[in-house]
Amino acid sequence: MKNIVVKPNKVYDFLLFADATACLSMGLINGNSSSFTKYIIFFTAIFIVLLFLRTKGDIDLKPDLFLGMQLAFVAFFFLTSSLSDYSTHASNIVVRVLSNAICGTVLYVYYRKESTVDGILKVMMWNGYVCVIYIIANTGISVIIDQMLSAERLSSALINANTVGMNAALAVILNFYFIFKEKRLRWWNLLMIPSFLLTFASQSKKAFIIIVVGSVLVYFFVKPREADETLNKKAGKAVMILLLAGALLGLMETQLFSGMNERLQGFYDTLSDDEGVEGSTSDELREFFIEVGIEQFKKNPVIGVGLDCARYYTGRGYYLHNNYVELLADGGVIGFALYYMMYAYIIYVLLKCRKVKSPQKTMVIIIFAIRIITEFAAVTYVTYINQFYLILFFSEARVLRREYSELIAETDSNKKISDRTKA
């Protein structure tokens, strides 16, 4: 019998993947608890040890643009926190954001050297699955189904319903990505079923957008196309898509999915603003929070009211449920610019390297686009998972720049050969 030899680096890579997944999952599960920072630091410390062993101490600590942008963003809020009317709270949140950035930097040092971002995508996928399994194990599938049949939103003191739904939905579309890319099924593909269920149990409109829009985009832009695909095959796929869309609409009309259906209808009624039509209370509150945020921005346009301090002006203690308005209110023009400069850089790299084609680039663009859209209805910049999104985007930017340089070099080389041949 042939002996199976497992290379040490493969073992370390798996352990680093498992630790990163645990780090992200514990960040979500304990995101609102006092032990949040302790868990993150603990798993980050393990990651450092594993990374040291994996690289035999040869860790690349060279600073780059992402690390500089992170530092500038945190430094700005640190320096201005004492000027806030709620300086104690602002300072506490600065410490939390700083710890997130430091722990994220450790992971980035590892992932930025990889030739693909699939490792980060798998961490984010499994993070969603861990959250789903955790919620089901602690709540019970029967309780969740009873809540759905009663049109009640997923009730859990463990993780916010929106957080559960969005991470479950992201796990589903990432699973589709790996199925299409690897062209094979794995046992963990079955976890898409409970993830789909919890996406709708959460009644999160953002999760609905992620799973529906994301799945469609992955199918059309990531799934490999057959070069000799016939017209009949194309027609068959079109019919299948229409049938799936019809099935989804049919499911939305059943009692099991009535809660999500009601929330979507309430959202539509709020947007329509028709007289005599009652909109969603949640969506009306979000409009109120946005108005409060814009008013505070007008009063403090340069440096804002302090990190996470806009909530104190709502009269309810809630954050503003809009990342763009929240950053304008909390950090003014400077804080807003320092954060979204990171997004602007990613857009710049994507445009510059548009000739580089790859499935992971397409997947990152889909996630980036969804992120930009969902930030109109969520505050993300203070969360730990936001570090993973930034690590994903900047790691892909590094991959694209390397591949673009290689493409340009190859093009120049071919041109020189062609010129010599003509001569």
pLDDT at position 133, please? 92
DSSP 3-state of 273: coil
Sign of the alpha-carbon torsion through 409, 413, 419, 423: positive
> How far is Cα of residue 284 from the mean position of the Cα atoms in its chain?
26
Type of residue found at 138: N
Q: Are 43 and 26 in contact (CB under 8 A)?
A: yes
- The per-residue pLDDT for 4 is 40
Q: What is the pLDDT of residue 208?
A: 86
The neighbour count for residue 174, using CB atoms within 10 Å, is 26
Residue owning tokens 């430091």: 102
**DSSP for 311-377, written as a single string:** GGGSSS----S-HHHHHHHHHHHHHHHHHHHHHHHHHHHHHHTTT---HHHHHHHHHHHHHHHHTTS
- The token duo for 186 is 């794995």
pLDDT of residue 206: 86
Go through 93-128 and write b for each residue having 16 or more CB atoms within 10 A of its CB, e for each that does not. bbebbbbbbebbbbbbbbbbeeeebbbbbbbbbbbb
CB 371 within 8 A of CB 388: no
Q: What is the pLDDT of residue 37?
A: 72
Q: Is the Cβ–Cβ distance between 382 and 308 less than 8 Å?
A: yes
Mean pLDDT by 10 residues, the chain (423 residues): 51 90 81 68 89 84 89 93 91 88 88 90 94 89 82 72 89 94 89 91 86 88 69 65 67 63 57 47 81 93 93 87 94 96 96 91 95 90 89 94 88 67 62
Tokens of 176: 């589709």
Which amino acid would we find at residue 116? T
Whole-number Cα distances in Å, 415 to 33, 59, 333? 60, 38, 47
Q: How far apart are CA 305 and CA 254, in angstroms?
A: 46
- What number of other Cβ atoms are within 10 A of residue 85's Cβ? 12
Q: Can you say whether the dihedral through the CA atoms of 202, 206, 209, 211 is positive or negative?
A: negative
User: Residue with structure tokens 């007289």?
Assistant: 275
Return phi, psi of residue 383, to 5°.
Answer: -90, 155
pLDDT on residue 150: 79
Contact residues for 270 (Cβ-Cβ < 8 A; gap 6+): 279, 280, 283, 284, 287
Locate 147 and state its tokens.
């809540």
Backbone angles phi, psi at 129, to 5 degrees: -65, -40
pLDDT at site 256? 61
What does DSSP assign to residue 225? P
Check if the beta carbon of residue 362 is closer than 8 Å to that of residue 401: no
Angle at 136 between CA 135 and CA 142, to 5 degrees: 135
The separation between the first and the last C-alpha atoms of the chain, rounded to the nearest angstrom, is 60
Tell me the two tokens of residue 347: 């857009």
pLDDT value at position 232? Answer: 63
pLDDT on residue 2 = 43
What is the spatial distance between Cα 134 and Cα 173, in angstroms, rounded to a whole number?
A: 20
**CA 115, 339, 63, 44 torsion: positive or negative?**
negative
pLDDT for 321 equals 87
